Structures are given as structure tokens and as C-alpha cells.
Amino acid sequence: MTRPAATAPVLTRSIATSPNRPTSRRKYQRYNALQTRPRCSHQPRLSAISRRRYHSHDHPAPAGPFTPAEAALLSAAYHHVPSHGFTPESLALGARDAGLLDISPSILRDGAFSLIRWHLHTQRASLAGKAEKLAAAEKDKPMTVAEKVEALTWERLKGNVEAGIVGRWQEALAIMAQPSYVPTSVKELAQLADEIVYLAGDVSVDPSWYTKRASLSAIYAAAELFQTTDQSPEFRETRAFLRRRLDEASQAGGAMRSIGEWIGFNAGAAVNVLRSKGVRI
């Protein structure tokens, strides 16, 4: 790779000035499939916790955006997930497809979890396009906000089927339940709920907004878990499960039950992962 001759002055600047230079920002321009759009201003910020015990506490993994190098590695690896799971194998096979080396994915800080982040991010990003299709179909028969929430959540669940990862999702949940990845995983889930509520056209800015979002997160997570064991044609039972839960959510306690189930599963998965790594618990 040849570098432009203009490198020297850039370096001079990069050494002499503060870290927030426009040059470096241009270089670190991220691949971000989600456009920035106005949305509720009171989104809570989940603080990052340390990824491993001896690591810094102030370096959260960038949740959504990916550098071009990451995007190239991860998009190639994603094709291997249906057959090899969210694993280092998929990453290495993807690197080979991209004309790179087995060692190349080692630049990804979170290994297989980066691949999960890629899945979550690209699936979430594709919802906007699906919302447009729904809106077009809606012309003759307008939908309520609640109906749109259900339709979009179902679209997101179908995304798992289309990507061929339903059979791999329990493994992924086990990785996501590892303590260092929980904050990012929870944040992704919250962002998905945001996106669905936003695309469904709910513009209310009142205290119920938090409740709605929390309920939707919990219901989505429960439905996704249900999906991993669903053998019915076209995941009909998952769809019915989703409907029931959304109906229940209007009654007190419904959301809490979903949250409880989700936590229960993830705690179990986390224990199994730790055991498989030789931790005696």
C-alpha cells in the first residue's frame, strides 16, 4: 500500500496537537448503517463497566459503529454463522473469503462477540427499510401504533430466520451473558426497543415512554428465546407468543414476568459457560 506523500505534515500535526483533530476524525469515520435522526432526548446512558478485571473502566466498546476494516471482516464472517456459529471459526473463514489471513480477525477486540454485535447492529439497521414497506402496505388499512410495534417486532424476529442464525442464538446468548459483555448486550436490546417504538410512530414524551421501552425490550428478549426452541412451521408459535405477551403487557406484571424468564435463562447460560471453562460453581 502506498501512502500519499502528504503524510509528513499530518504526522506533525498529530503529534503536536490535541487528540480531537479533524484529520483523525476523518480517518476514524465509522461504518454506521443507522442514520442519526431526532428521537427522544431522554435516553438513559448505560455506563460501561470493565471488560476484564484488569482493564480500564473508561473505554467502552463502541456499541454500533464499525470501522471499515471491522465491517469487511465481520460482514464476510457473518455468512458462516449459520454453519459455524458466532465463533472464531466463522471469523477466520470470513477472513479467508475476504482474501485476508487466519490471524486478521485478531484485530477485533471482542472476537466472537464482535460478530454478535454485527448481527444486532445490521438487523436493527434494516428495520427502517422494513418499516417503509409496512407503511406502503398500510395505505388502505391504517394500523394503530400498537399494531405497528407488533409488526416491526415480528419483522425483527423474522430477520433471525432470514439470516439463518436461529439455531445459533442460544450459543450467542451464552456469550452475551458473560459479565464483560452484558452492558453492551443490554444496551443493544434497549436500542432495538427504541428503534421499534420510534419507527412505529410513537412520539409521546412522557413517563410511560420508559415503561413502554422496558416492556418491549423484555418481551422481545423473551420472544427471541422462545424462537430458539420453536419447531412450528414458519415460527407460528413464536408469533402467537409475541402477540400474547404484548397483550399481557397492558396488564400489570406482564412485563415483569418476561424479564424474570430472560434473566433466569441467561444466568443459567452463564453458569454453563463458566463451567465449560473449568470454573467450579
Q: Summarize as ranges the residues that interact with other proteins (CB under 8 A).
A: 1-5, 7-12, 14-16, 19, 24, 27, 52, 54-59, 61-62, 66-70, 73, 84, 88-89, 92-93, 95-96, 98-104, 106-109, 114
CA 268 to chain centre: 21
Closest CB to other proteins among 59 and 133?
A: 59
Please state the closest distance from residue 160 (CB atom) to other proteins, in A.
24
- Cα atoms in the Cβ-side hemisphere of radius 13 Å centred on 226: 23
Q: Which three cell numbers stand for residue 42?
A: 431522554
Alpha carbon distance 87, 94 (integer Å): 11
Could you tell me the CA-to-CA distances from 246 to 123, 179, 204, 205, 277 in Å, in that order? 21, 29, 18, 21, 38
Closest CB to other proteins among 32 and 159?
A: 32
Please state the closest distance from residue 36 (CB atom) to other proteins, in A.
20
Could you tell me the CA-to-CA distances from 240 to 5, 246, 257 in Å, in that order? 62, 10, 17
Closest CB to other proteins among 27 and 133?
A: 27
Closest CB to other proteins among 184 and 258?
A: 184
Please state the closest distance from residue 149 (CB atom) to other proteins, in A.
33
Please state the closest distance from residue 92 (CB atom) to other proteins, in A.
4
Residue appearing with cell numbers 452463564: 270
Please state the closest distance from residue 263 (CB atom) to other proteins, in A.
29
Closest CB to other proteins among 103 and 136?
A: 103
Decide if 107 contacts 67 (C-beta within 8 A).
no
104: amino acid identity, one letter: S
Closest CB to other proteins among 24 and 178?
A: 24
Closest CB to other proteins among 59 and 244?
A: 59
The residues facing 216 across adjacent strands are none
Please state the closest distance from residue 13 (CB atom) to other proteins, in A.
9
CA-based nearest residue to 147, from 42, 247, 7:
247
Alpha carbon distance 263, 72 (integer Å): 33
Residue 31 main-chain phi, psi, to 5 deg: -80, 115
Please state the closest distance from residue 87 (CB atom) to other proteins, in A.
9
99: amino acid identity, one letter: G
Those residues with Cβ within 8 angstroms of residue 250's Cβ, 6 or more apart along the chain or in another chain = none
